[in-house]
Each structure stands twice: as structure tokens, then as C-alpha cells.
Amino acid sequence: MAAETSTDALVATGVRTYVPNYAPKPVVFDHGEGARLWDIDGREYIDLGTGISVNSFGHRHPDLIAAVTGQAGRLLHTSNLYYVEPTVRLAEDLVDGTFAERVFFCNSGAEANEAAIKIVRRRAAEAGRGPEEREIITFEGSFHGRTLATVTATAQPKYHEGFEPMPGGFTYCPFNDPEALEAAISDRTCAVMLEPVQGEGGVTPSRQGFLRHVQDLCRRHDALLVLDEIQSGMGRTGKFFAYEWEPGVEPDVVTMAKALAGGLPMGAVLAGARAADALSVGTHGSTFGGNPVSAAAARVAVGLARSDDLLANVVRQGDAFRLFLNRINAELGLFRDVRGKGLMIGAELGEAHEGKAGALVDACQEEGVIVLVAGPSVLRLLPPLNIGDEDVRDATAGMERAFRAFAAS
């Protein structure tokens, strides 16, 4: 007897069988095209969440499909005991196109940040610095992952609850506060780690000049500058990396994931001259890291993310979304702040609606628009980077209907 495939049946099976650490919406998506998604009941949505900045080039991009199917028909996996051409070529693309001298591949953002933590501490150890001199400074509001090390690096206590004792060696500092960082950093610090635009923490960009100030302090104390570009990279803000909006910044380590392989699991750590040789044979690894199918997709995705036309579209459509949000806010007064860069946008609810971002997400979904939250009071938009004018018009029309219904409720 065939299992029932209705929405209710599939949701019920998921509720029964999944570990209950997620709370998925009772929607079962079936297929997508460009910026659009359809559920198994045939209902259409405009996707302004892109799987949390993963499907950044939309759904069923023909070049990505061709790369994945072509490589899947040749070779799925070999391990890192051997070379495979797609992974070698991807490493070459990233090294030739960035500050990096070497690349480490893994499967996710948390793994990339975990590797970055090991790199900076190993580099300090090789320089003869003891465990007490391997402190890593991170920032309040940050989000760096869910492993024990990366969740400790995440300076938000709510993510720590119930997982104590947390690993040591992390110090937290207020974000965008140069004086606080000057007071915190010392010769005990081996690295400062931050997101150029905090994503999960509320879509909060670093202030102009802050990254350069962090870099100067790192150089003064022989600490490495680690930039988490997992959500903000790959063209999301209108430049390949978000840190490129600030002239003169050259990180020692950058972590990538999410959109890197256009929808397949992949993470990477880019290491500059001061970090490139920190990991010797046997000090770290990843069985699936650099998987050839993901690498083939990532070569296409990196090429797309470097396109001048695409980056210009990110800036233009990001301006269109912010113009809409500010216009409707002038009338309805929902938000205390609209912020972000490019197509990484956050709208923070005002005092009257504080903590109700989830209800606003539900209202948008009812109007056929998929949006996200970044904490309980911030609506987050992460549209496809290649989203077109018609999709933007339809999405903003749906959001306007949702906002008006929400404001009236």
C-alpha cells in the first residue's frame, strides 16, 4: 500500500519522525523555478528566503543543473586521499580570485568556522604561544554555528543554554564598538572573528571604518582577522565579499558556505599568507569535504557571483526592496529600522509589535511570499541575487497586503 502524499500526511510523518529541534511550517514544497516555489498542492510562492541564503541564484538554474548532473554521471566521491579535477579547479578559482593562498573544503558553515578556529589556534601554538595566549574575540549578536566550539564563539547566551560546560578561550565584545575592542584585545588574543554583516543576530552591518580598525588592532597584537562571510558572501551584498565595501581590509581567514555550491552542501575556509600553512598533514580533515559534485556546482556558483551584471542587480533590487519597506513604514509605522546591504535586508519591528516577527512571516506566507526572521523582532529578506523586476513587484505587492493585515490585527 502506497504511503499517502498529502500535505497533512507528510507533515504528520515529519512531526513523528524528525528530532524536534526544528519547527517547520506546515508546507511541503515540491519544485521551484527562478524566484518561485510551488508546494505539493500547487500553490505558488515568491521565495525571498532562498533556503537561508543558499539558493542565491534561484531554483533550477540551468548551469547549476548541468554541472551537477554532468559530474554525478562521472564520479560522486573519492575522499581527500586523492585529487579530483572539479575540486582542484575550484580551489584554483578561489585562490586566483581572492586574497587567499590556500583553501580548505568542508560541508557547512559551522564546519568552516570550526576549521577557522583550529587554524588560528594551531598557528598560535606553532609560534610557541601557550593555551592562555590563544584567546579568540567574537562579538555580541554574532552567529557562527551550532557545534560546541562555534556555538561558544556565537556570543548569544540563548544558544548556549543546556549545552554547558562550554569550551573556553572565547571573549565577547560589543559589536561596532572600537573602544570596547581596544580594551579587550591583548597579546593573549590569537584572533578576532566577526561577520561583516551580522545575519542571525538581526542583519546588522559593521559601521564604516570598524573592520579596518579591527584589522589594525589585530596587526598590533599579532592576532589573525577572521571574517565569517557564510551568509554575507557570494555576492549577497553587491560585492563578492561584504568586507570589500570597506577599502583597505585584507583578512587573514574568510569562511564561506551557504550559497557556495548553489544549493548543495559545501563550506570553505580561505587562508591568507599568515594562516595558509597552519594545518599540517593529520591536524584536520573532512570525509566529504571538497566533494566533486558540490565542487562542480560551486565553480558555476562562484562564476555567477562574480558577474558584474548580477552584482549590479543585487544593488538595484536591494534599493527597490528598501524603498518599498521605507515607503510602507512611513504609512503603517511597523518598523523602527530598515537596514542591511544589497539583498541582505533586515526590518526591525517597533515597540508596538516587538517580538512578533514570526506572525509577520506567517502573514506574508498567506499572501504567497516566503520571508524569514532574524530573531523575534526582525523580518529578514534574502531574495535570489538574480531576482527580476516582475518578481520584485509581485513580492512587494504580497508583502504590502500582509503588512496591512498585520497592522490592522
How confident is the prediction along the chain (409 residues), in pLDDT tens digits per residue?
457 789 999 999 999 999 999 999 999 999 999 999 999 999 999 999 999 999 999 999 999 999 999 999 999 999 999 999 999 999 999 999 999 999 999 999 999 999 999 999 999 999 999 999 999 999 999 999 999 999 999 999 999 999 999 999 999 999 999 999 999 999 999 999 999 999 999 999 999 999 999 999 999 999 999 999 999 999 999 999 999 999 999 999 999 999 999 999 999 999 999 999 999 999 999 999 999 999 999 999 999 999 999 999 999 999 999 999 999 999 999 999 999 999 999 999 999 999 999 999 999 999 999 999 999 999 999 999 999 999 999 999 999 999 999 999 8
Give the pLDDT confidence score for residue 2 in this predicted structure: 58
Query: In whole angstroms, what is the distance from residue 288 CA to residue 268 CA?
Result: 12
- 75-305: CATH architecture: 3-Layer(aba) Sandwich (3.40)
Pull the grid cell for residue 135. Answer: 584567546
Query: In whole angstroms, what is the distance from residue 21 CA to residue 161 CA?
Result: 14
- The sign of the dihedral angle between the CA atoms of 259, 261, 264, 270 is negative
Polymer length of the chain = 409
Give the pLDDT confidence score for residue 404 in this predicted structure: 98
Domain at 7-60+308-408: CATH code: 3.90.1150.10
Give the pLDDT confidence score for residue 3 in this predicted structure: 74
Residues of the chain with CATH 3.40.640.10: 75-305
**357, exposed or middle or buried, with CB in 10 Å at 0-12, 13-18, 19+?**
buried
Give the pLDDT confidence score for residue 4 in this predicted structure: 79
Residues of the chain with CATH 3.90.1150.10: 7-60+308-408
Pull the grid cell for residue 403. Answer: 503588512
